Copies of this chain bind each other. A is one copy, B any other.
Amino acid sequence: MAEPRDTVVLAYSGGLDTSCILVWLKEQGYTVIAFLANIGQTEDFDAAQKKALALGAKKVYIQDVCREFVEDFIWPAVHANALYEDRYMLGSALARPCIARHLVLIAQEEGARYIAHGATGKGNDQVRFELGCYALCPSIKVIAPWRMPEFYQRFPGRRELMEYAQKHGIPVPVTPKAPWSMDENLMHISYEAGILENPKNRAPLDLYTKTCNPTTSPDVPDELEIEFEKGVPVKVTNTRNGVTHRSALELFVYLNDIASKHGVGRVDIVENRFVGMKSRGIYETPAGTILYHAHLDIEAFTMDREVRKIKQGLSLKFSELVYNGFWYSPECEFLKHCIARSQQAVAGTVHVSVFKGQVYILGRESPHSLYNEELVSL
């Protein structure tokens, strides 16, 4: 039981679980402040705000963090060509430290000693939230109800949660829950658990929500020119219609649109979670997939071979650290700095075609290219 006036900042999603957690925390005596990051997910933020207030939150913070998510978290991953275990583009792993930063800021503003989240005890996100929060504010205390016996024994299944919701006036979803869990943000959506847990089961066709099915996607490619400076995109032009975007957020959203339209960015993998178990995940990372290919190309074109090899080793380590939640660790800061240093002359324009689930590199040019056409010629 908390002291009467102890305040907790809850990472609130608007869904059933964190709504129940909100009410449960109040039952334990906490004053609850809900924080819901708008990090690009599909959500009715107004409704979520009203709901949290109705459930007894003292305050609800809803903040649009999309721009900083792109600039401060996705861009370093683009620098690194970050892939976890050769395939996963780290969409969730990059979002967590961005959210954790705001949880801590709000806790500091509000004088809250506690932060709570709804991540489970077998997943990666608990680790990412907690390492992030503790790194930014070592004195904070994290409450993880799904790891507390008094919580998980009370709610052994979804049925008990539903009953609790009904009893406490928590709105219950009217549509049946999808037989898997999802996590969405501007960069990606993940699907796991439920019927996907059997790694042999193929994903149902209606699972995907962030990209079109390549079998029904357009029969004509889109072609883009993506311009990079210091290793990040600064301009995207669609050569079919001249549409151009320049700011980080706007061009990222546009790349999401184009990739989504052409079914780009789907993967179905088994990965090794931080806590040790293997887990099957299905991901859609539309813009991230285009940028991965384009950055790889402009980097190869402009970076010294031996620097690239060293940087590749650093990136492998970076990806592993990000996956495991160590974004704010000294080693990750060190790697970010070193990798950014390697990108100083990574500049130029990559021409890509996006079509039927694929990204094709068509050509590239650069003011800093180390490519010497005369030398290579016979």
Residues of chain A whose beta carbon lies under 8 Å from any beta carbon of chain B: 81, 85-87, 120, 122, 193, 197-203, 214-215, 219, 221, 266-272, 276-280, 296-297, 300-301, 304-314, 316-317, 320, 329-331, 334-335, 337-338, 341-342, 351, 355-358, 360-365, 369-373, 375-378
Contacts of A361 in B (CB 8 A): 267-269
Contacts of A312 in B (CB 8 A): 86, 316
Question: For chain A, what secondary structure do more than half of its interface residues adopt (helix, strand, loop), or is it mixed?
Answer: mixed
A-B contact pairs, 12 of them (CB 8 A): A86-B312, A193-B376, A199-B369, A203-B362, A268-B360, A269-B297, A278-B370, A304-B330, A304-B331, A310-B331, A334-B341, A338-B338
- Check if B305 sits within 8 Å of A272, measured CB to CB: yes
A125 to chain B, nearest CB (A): 13
Contacts of A311 in B (CB 8 A): 334
Chain B minimum-CB-distance residue to A371: B278
User: With A86-B81, A197-B376, A306-B329 in contact, do A363 and B278 touch (Cβ < 8 Å)?
Assistant: no
Copies of this protein chain in the complex:
4
- Check if A309 sits within 8 Å of B300, measured CB to CB: no
- Check if B357 sits within 8 Å of A270, measured CB to CB: no
A271 to chain B, nearest CB (A): 7
Chain B minimum-CB-distance residue to A342: B334
